[in-house]
Amino acid sequence: MKNHKLYLFALVCLLFASCATNKKISYFQDAINADSAKIALPSPEIRLRTEDKLSIVVNCRDPELSALFNLPYSSRVIGAHSTNNIAGTTNVGVSCYAIDPNGNIDFPELGTIHIAGMTRTEVASYIKQELVNRNLVTDPVVTVEYSNLHFSVFGEVRNPGQFNIVRDKVTLLDAISTAGDLTINGKRTNVMVLRTDSIGNVLTYKVNMTSLDSVINSPVYYLCQNDQIYVEPTKKRARESTANGNVFASPSFWISTASAITTLISTILLIQQRSRQ
């Protein structure tokens, strides 16, 4: 009977260890058992900064008139080592506008315009309105696309790297999904986001991914260009850098230990029983 109790005790310990592990890896634990509810989120779009690059294209009914407001298409040879493009490929695309340190670009016919701090929708609207107000074009369609905006994800994720931003709104969850999700060894309670502000200061934010409230109320729920997301390794992962670092954290170790203790106690009880006979 005592042996059965000891085995039961070992099994209970193992189950508790398993539950503790699940609490460390499950996302949004404060919302899993909650009723459905609406969450009002702000929807900030990406604001342009100095050194950002944009593709800006103006179209209208008259192609020749449109050409006056568009930069020429650029072509460059990639991977070639000679002028005849041997072993190289040609990449053709629209030339880009780089926002200067003062937040300006030099736009054809309009001259210097200040666009830092605008969204790309605001840039398109502003250029369109200026073209109409100056009687340069009566029916312009202005398209603005990002050219060099990106975010980076590294640490304990499946596919670390630098990823392009092509939408006006990108969330932290989008970024983690793009990087293939956290590995089992990623510390979900302490995901770090490094953000450089408009004057060059590096700000550090920490997000607990196991709490939905922590995620959606974080200042970095919506990402900005050049944000860097770092996923810290768990203690288990960190211990793997040393020999036998995870022996004491292994369930098999504790099962073996419990089994050995049970066997030892059983042996002692058996010896005591025989000594009484």
Predicted TM-score (pTM) of the model is 0.72
Mean pLDDT of 176-202: 93
Q: What is the pLDDT of residues 105-131, one digit of tens each?
A: 999 999 999 999 999 999 999 999 999
The DSSP annotation for the chain comes to -HHHHHHHHHHHHHHHHHHHHHHHH-S-HHHHTSPP-------PPPPP-TT-EEEEEEE-S-HHHHHTTSPPEEEEEES--STT-TT-EEEEEE--EEPPTTSEEEETTTEEEE-TT--HHHHHHHHHHHHHHTTS-SS-EEEEEESS-EEEEEESBSS-EEEE--SS--BHHHHHHHTT-B-TTEEEEEEEEEEE-TTSPEEEEEE-TT-HHHHHTSTTSB--TT-EEEEEEPHHHHHTTSTTTTTTT-HHHHHHHHHHHHHHHHHHHHHHHHHH-
- What CATH number labels 53-146? 3.30.1950.10
pLDDT given for residue 43 in this prediction: 73
Cα–Cα distance for residue pair 20/142, rounded to 1 Å: 55
**149-238: CATH topology:** Outer membrane lipoprotein wza fold like (3.10.560)
Q: 53-59 and 141-146: which strand pairing?
A: antiparallel
**Whether residue 249 has pLDDT greater than 60:** no
Cα–Cα distance for residue pair 142/156, rounded to 1 Å: 41
Cα–Cα distance for residue pair 59/54, rounded to 1 Å: 16
Cα–Cα distance for residue pair 18/186, rounded to 1 Å: 17
Domain range annotation of the chain:
53-146, 149-238
pLDDT band, very low/low/confident/very high, at 29 (cuts 50, 70, 90) = confident
pLDDT band, very low/low/confident/very high, at 88 (cuts 50, 70, 90) = very low
Residue predicted with more confidence, 232 or 35:
232
Q: Is the separation of the CB atoms in 144 and 124 below 8 Å?
A: yes
Q: What is the pLDDT of residues 1-24, one digit of tens each?
A: 544 444 444 444 444 444 444 456
What's the token pair of residue 174?
Answer: 């989008």
Percentage of the chain beyond pLDDT 70 is 70
Name residue 151's beta-bridge partners: 163
pLDDT band, very low/low/confident/very high, at 235 (cuts 50, 70, 90) = confident
Q: What is the pLDDT of residues 190-203, one digit of tens each?
A: 999 999 987 889 99
The DSSP annotation for 101-159 comes to TTSEEEETTTEEEE-TT--HHHHHHHHHHHHHHTTS-SS-EEEEEESS-EEEEEESBSS
Q: Is the separation of the CB atoms in 173 and 215 below 8 Å?
A: yes
Mean pLDDT of 160-175: 96
**Whether residue 204 has pLDDT greater than 60:** yes
Q: How many residues does the chain have?
A: 277
